[in-house]
Each structure stands twice: as C-alpha cells, then as structure tokens.
Amino acid sequence: MHATVAKQLPKNYKLVYDILRGAGHGVHFTMGEIYAHARRKRPAIGFSTVYRGIARLRDLGWIDEIELPGSGSAVYELKGRPHAHFRCERCGEVADVHYQLPARTVARLAARTGGRIGTAMVMLRGLCRRCSV
Amino acid sequence: MHATVAKQLPKNYKLVYDILRGAGHGVHFTMGEIYAHARRKRPAIGFSTVYRGIARLRDLGWIDEIELPGSGSAVYELKGRPHAHFRCERCGEVADVHYQLPARTVARLAARTGGRIGTAMVMLRGLCRRCSV
DNA sequence: TCCGGCACTGAAAGTCATATTCACTATCGG
DNA sequence: CCGATAGTGAATATGACTTTCAGTGCCGGA
C-alpha cells in the first residue's frame, strides 16, 4: 500500500493517517474524534496540526471526506471504493452501504443536464436496525 | 393548493413563502438570498423572522431544504416531487435533475442494512454545461 | 560544521451560516 | 378591555472549520 510514500509524511500527519488506517474501512470519524485519538497518542499535538493532516491526506486521496447533509460536521474514513452512506436520524451513526449509482445511469443524467458529472453521492437517512425497534 | 391554510400564516412567514412560490419550482435560494428579497418587500423585517419563517415552512412541508455537501450553506426551493440535485463545482449553480432512486433499489438497500430508510438523496457534482466548455 | 530557507507546529483569532435568547409588541378569543 | 399566546428585531451564542502568527526544526549546500 502507501507505506513507502507514507514515510515521507510529517510524523504528525502519519499519526493521523494511522488512526484512520488502524480502524480500517467502514469506520467513520469526525474531526473532533480524530483529534481526541491523536491527543491520546501525542498529548501536545495541536488541533491545527490534526486539521492540516486531514486536509493533506484528503488532498492526497488517501482518505475520503464525507459531508453529511444536516449534521453540521463531516466524517472521514479510509479511502475505499465508492459507496453510499446511511445515517441514522436518531443515534447519528453513519454506516457504509455497498451501492453506487450505475455508471449507465450517471451517463444518462449527465447527457440530460448537458454538463459533466464528476461524482455521484447517495445519502440514505432513516432509522438504523437498533433504533428502529 | 395551500391557499386557505396559507392565510393562517403570520404575514411575514407568508411573505417568505411568496418569494419561493413566486420563483416557482426548480429555483434555489440560500437563506441570505431569501432575506435580501424579503427586505426589499419589507425593509424592517429582521433576519430572525425570515429564518423562523423558513423553519416553519420546512416543518410544514411546504418547502424543501437541500443541504449541499461542501457548500457551507443550504438552499431552499418550493416543495416538489423527490428529485436529485446537480451542483456545478465551478459556478456553484444548483440544478434539479429529475431522477430518484428506484423504490425497489431503496427497499433492497433497506433490507441489507436492516434498518428503515426514510429518504434517499442523490447529489451529483461536476461542471455544468456552461462551465464545462 | 555552519547557514539559509522552507516545511511544520501550537495557540489564538477569524469566518460563516445558522440557532437561540431577550425584551418587547401585536393579535385573538372572551 | 384583558390576559395569554404567538410573533418580532436586535443582539448574542454556537459549532465546525480555516487562517494567521510567531516561532521551531530539519535538510541540503557551501
């Protein structure tokens, strides 16, 4: 994986990346949660550094930033294949859903709008299994 | 339509609704734009009143609030049938796209997550026709 | 080894779009 | 006319980023 390149990252940014990588795919963190984890490993680290680390990793394409409509804050996860997200309106939990709009559908929509579609995101909202009981 | 019920709205909320209704379907406004329009019609109106008007109309289900991932602010439009949104990454324009996830697909995803899916939103991002030249 | 520079850092301050609080005021059923 | 309730504008608070500032550290070249 990115190991060899990762070595060139400033150590604090690497620390941030390791938090996400350690959790694995499908685990989501808010900026605040990542900061909390980072402080546990390196108490003197500042919020700005974690923030800049996230920004760098996102720009490098190593992590995905998911903007949750209506939640006020974004969540981050290890870069993976495109997928949809489900957010429970009661507990706020965010779960990955293995689904993406068929390429054919996206192409059809692009033709209809006359522009170029870069990304298509699907956001599902409702009650998760636990909260819907 | 809602005419009879609309009469019961406080006049300032009705003013806000009329701005959206006057523009028709498929036209999007940010909170700030709505406030600007409102002031033109009633210069003494306060931001809070417009804000509360929007909140009320949204709760009544007369307008839709669309949270645009990564845009920092939501846009509002007259309530209509469910549809997807396309946002140009260059000019920021938001356009309606007549498409919604097939009910069958949503049902299949709900079964897979084990929860209940209330809404499914599709957000497309890319370059609009004018910006993609 | 010593130096110049640029990347990296933490704390603090700034931004921006809402949300909420406060002290009235207008309205409506009696 | 009255009291309760809803509506109002100004001001303030909030939350999540985002940028600025004043160093610090590290690296390649002389």
Which residue, counting CA atoms, is nearest to the C1' of nucleotide C11? A46
CA atoms within 13 Å, Cβ hemisphere of A73: 12
Q: What confidence score (pLDDT) does residue B133 get?
A: 79
Alpha-carbon span A10 to B1, nearest angstrom: 61
Give the pairing type, strands A84-88 and A116-127.
Answer: parallel
pLDDT confidence of residue B43: 96
pLDDT surpassing 60 at residue B3 = no
Q: What is the mean pLDDT of residues A76-92?
A: 93
Please check whether residue A95 touches B, CB under 8 A. Answer: yes
- Do the chains contact at B126 and A112, CB–CB below 8 Å? no
Where do the H-state alpha helices sit in A24-100?
Answer: 31-41, 47-60
For residue range B69-86, list pLDDT tens digits in order: 878 899 999 999 999 999
Angle, CA of B21, B23 and B28, to the nearest 5°: 100
Q: What is the pLDDT of residue B111?
A: 94
Contact yes or no for A127 and B120 at CB 8 A = no
Indicate the pairing of strand B84-88 with strand B116-127.
Answer: parallel
Query: Counting Cβ atoms within 10 Å, is residue B16 exposed (0-12), middle (13-18) or buried (19+)?
Result: buried
Residue B72: what pLDDT?
A: 82
Q: What's the confidence (pLDDT) of residue B68? A: 86
Residues A23-46: what's their mean pLDDT? Answer: 96
Contact status of A61 with chain B (Cβ, < 8 Å): no
Could you tell me which chain A residue has the CA closest to the CA of B109?
A: A97
Residue B4 has pLDDT above 60, yes or no: no
Looking at residue B116, what is its pLDDT?
Answer: 94
The set of residues, in sequence order, having a beta carbon less than 8 Å from that of A9 and lying 6+ positions away, is: A17, A56
Domains parsed from chain A with CATH numbers: 1-80 (1.10.10.10), 82-133 (3.30.1490.190)
Q: Which of A69, A70, A115 sits opposite B132 (nearest CB)?
A: A115
